[in-house]
């Protein structure tokens, strides 16, 4: 009888431990199903008009909703946008990459003109990484200036990593100095094959009821 009691107690303890481990990793990410095509000289208003003389004229804007329903604080890092075929990076707008906006981080994004209803005032993230506190819901604005030297025929992929605990040594990185060297990738891919057509349509439209957005193919969720 005592043996059966011990087995039941151990099983209950194991079940509780598994539930706890699942809870501390309970992070969900939802990328916007659409991204907006932008002309940086027409659709983005920033302090001192820093985009006015940009050698790269085109951009996309989207958001990611990150919910941390776990009991542990976490973070995201290595946020990037790139060509999925060549792995070349596009320009991610943050306060680290645009230091002139440090004191005035807010941008006005108007994909369909200032008279349309769908305008966005965003504060650029500080860098390519940031905290995700326990119980929080983070709306992460992602503004990507497209590198004119990189093809967009294959679309643009956006991704970042979230660290996870690796309890077993062989799950960790060989250069790890902690037990949080197991990463989960969150990724979305946007099809930009009709980018210029949609951009021309947006810029020719100045009413809130006539608009198009870039359709997307979701990956890595």
Q: pTM, whole model, 2 decimals?
A: 0.77
CA distance between the termini of the chain? 47
Give the per-residue pLDDT at 78: 92
**How do the domains of the chain map onto residue ranges?**
27-217
Give the per-residue pLDDT at 206: 52
Span 203-220, pLDDT tens digits: 765 544 434 445 444 343
Q: Report the alpha-carbon distance of residue 6 to residue 28 in Å, rounded.
A: 37
Alpha helices in 65-110 (DSSP H): none
DSSP secondary structure code for residue 137 in this structure = E
Per-residue pLDDT of the chain (221 residues; tens, 9 = 90+): 576 777 777 777 776 666 555 545 578 999 999 899 999 999 999 888 888 888 999 999 999 999 998 878 889 999 999 999 999 999 999 999 998 888 888 999 998 877 777 888 999 999 999 999 988 999 999 999 999 999 999 999 999 998 876 555 555 555 444 445 678 889 999 999 999 988 888 776 554 443 444 544 434 33
Measure CA 106 to chain center. 18
Give the per-residue pLDDT at 17: 63
- Dmax (CA) of the chain: 81
DSSP secondary structure code for residue 58 in this structure = E
Half-sphere exposure of 112 (CA within 13 A, CB side): 15
* Closest by CA position to 56, among listed 158, 143, 153: 143
Q: Report the alpha-carbon distance of residue 169 to residue 55 in Å, rounded.
A: 47
């Amino acid at each position: 009888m005592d043996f059966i009691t011990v087995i039941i107690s151990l099983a209950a303890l194991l079940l509780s431990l598994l539930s706890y481990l699942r809870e501390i990793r309970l992070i969900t990410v939802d990328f916007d199903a659409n991204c907006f095509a932008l002309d940086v000289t027409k659709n983005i208003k920033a302090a001192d008009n820093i985009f006015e003389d940009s050698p790269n004229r085109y951009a996309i804007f989207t958001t990611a909703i990150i919910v941390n329903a776990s009991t542990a604080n976490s973070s995201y890092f290595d946020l990037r946008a790139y060509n999925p075929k060549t792995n070349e990076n596009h320009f991610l707008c943050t306060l680290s990459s645009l230091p002139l906006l440090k004191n005035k981080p807010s941008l006005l994004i108007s994909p369909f003109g200032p008279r349309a209803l769908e305008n966005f005032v965003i504060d650029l993230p500080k860098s390519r990484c940031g905290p995700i506190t326990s119980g929080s819901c983070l709306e992460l604005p992602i503004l990507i200036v497209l590198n004119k030297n990189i093809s967009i025929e294959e679309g643009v992929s956006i991704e970042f990593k979230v660290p996870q605990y690796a309890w077993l040594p062989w799950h960790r990185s060989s250069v790890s100095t902690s037990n949080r060297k197991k990463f989960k990738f969150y990724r979305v891919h946007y099809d930009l094959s009709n980018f210029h057509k949609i951009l021309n349509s947006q810029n020719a439209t100045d009413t809130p009821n006539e608009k198009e957005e870039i359709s997307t193919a979701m990956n890595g969720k």
